[in-house]
């Protein structure tokens, strides 16, 4: 299973099969994508906090697997080695809020964004970055907004006090 996914990633890299904004993600099938990370800690954080959010009912893609880079010896002997870390997750079909031309849909997407941010704060997670337009996708068929990109989310330990009204980054 793991080997199969690695092969799919290697093929997607070779074919440069990318979708999305910024650095984008590799499309492995119409069901799953792989997001590359050069840092182990960012990859682990994305996977763990994404899993936690999903398990607590937050509207995020389902996390599938965390893939490690190949060891250097294997890299020397293979054309298809993986140099980076990858988080494999459910592929979301959707448009960013800014791309929505229907005002009702845009309003609904913004409502869901605020609702999910509130629910994350209830879970003591600061979803820094979530107001960036490219960090969520609205699926029109499901009428559902998915939050993406959890690298910058921070969990606040129970023993620390925290202020729900702190400003979230607000660029788009």
Contacts with ligand ATP by CB under 6 A lie at 19-25, 33, 35, 61, 89-92, 134-135, 148-149, 151
Shortest CB 139 distance to ligand ATP, Å: 10
96 binds Mg ion (CB under 5 A): no
Please identify, using beta-carbon distances, which residue of 40 and 74 lies nearer to ligand ATP: 40
Cα–Cα distance between 36 and 26 in angstroms, integer? 8
Nearer to Mg ion, 27 or 149 (CB): 149
Could you tell me the two tokens for 96? 């960013």
| CB closer to ligand ATP, 89 vs 109 | 89
Q: Look-up: residue for tokens 């870390």?
A: 85
CB 72 within 8 A of CB 158: no
CA atoms within 13 A on the CB side of 51: 11
CB 159 within 8 A of CB 127: no
89 binds, among Mg ion, ligand ATP, none (CB under 5 to 8 A by kind): ligand ATP
User: Is the Cβ–Cβ distance between 66 and 34 less than 8 Å?
Assistant: no
Contacted by 84, from Mg ion, ligand ATP, none: CB < 5 to 8 Å by type: none
Contact residues: Mg ion, CB under 5 A: 135, 149
């Amino acid at each position: 299973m793991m080997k199969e996914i690695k092969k799919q990633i290697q093929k997607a890299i070779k074919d440069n099969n990318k979708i999305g904004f910024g650095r984008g993600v590799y499309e492995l099938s119409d069901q799953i994508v792989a997001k590359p990370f050069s840092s182990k800690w960012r990859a682990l954080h994305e996977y763990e906090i994404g899993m936690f959010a999903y398990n607590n009912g937050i509207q995020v893609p389902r996390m599938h697997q965390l893939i490690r880079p190949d060891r250097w010896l294997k890299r020397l002997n293979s054309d298809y080695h993986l140099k980076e870390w990858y988080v494999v997750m459910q592929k979301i079909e959707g448009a960013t809020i800014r791309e929505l031309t229907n005002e009702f849909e845009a309003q609904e997407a913004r409502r869901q964004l605020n609702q999910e941010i509130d629910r994350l704060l209830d879970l003591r997670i600061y979803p820094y970055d979530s107001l960036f337009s490219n960090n969520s996708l609205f699926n029109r068929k499901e009428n559902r907004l998915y939050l993406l990109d959890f690298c910058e989310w921070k969990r606040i330990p129970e023993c620390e006090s925290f202020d729900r009204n702190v400003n979230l980054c607000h660029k788009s």
